[in-house]
Amino acid sequence: MFTQYRKTLLAGTLALTFGFAAGNSFAAGFQPAQPAGKLGAIVVDPYGNAPLTALVELDSHVISDVKVTVHGKGEKGVPITYTVGKESLATYDGVPIFGLYR
């Protein structure tokens, strides 16, 4: 009965599967930036509710002793520096970046 529709059903299923996978990989509708260093991609606003945050994906790297500095904007800008602990690295599966500005 379904023999004549098998290719159509398979193609539709594959399209939906790839569509859902792509939709889940782009947090909040933003495509991740290409890797800028030895870690993974940078995803801005990874959870869709904090546009001035980012997440540097680890891409299976194991890192520790992470220190992040977001440099201030202009001459009067104040740099924000913080350390990221092992629990945060494990929780977010990446390096959380906050304190960004436009």
Segments making up each domain of the chain, as ranges: 3-98
Q: What digits encode the pLDDT tens for the residues 87-96?
A: 999 888 899 9
Can you read off the two tokens belonging to residue 61?
């790297």
Q: What digits encode the pLDDT tens for the residues 9-66?
A: 434 433 333 333 444 444 455 566 665 567 788 899 999 999 999 999 988 888 889 9
From edge to edge, which strands make up the β-sheet containing 94-98? 42-44, 53-57, 94-98
At 74, the amino acid letter reads G
| pTM for the model | 0.61
Q: Which CATH architecture has domain 3-98?
A: Sandwich (2.60)
For residue 46, give the 3-state DSSP assignment: coil
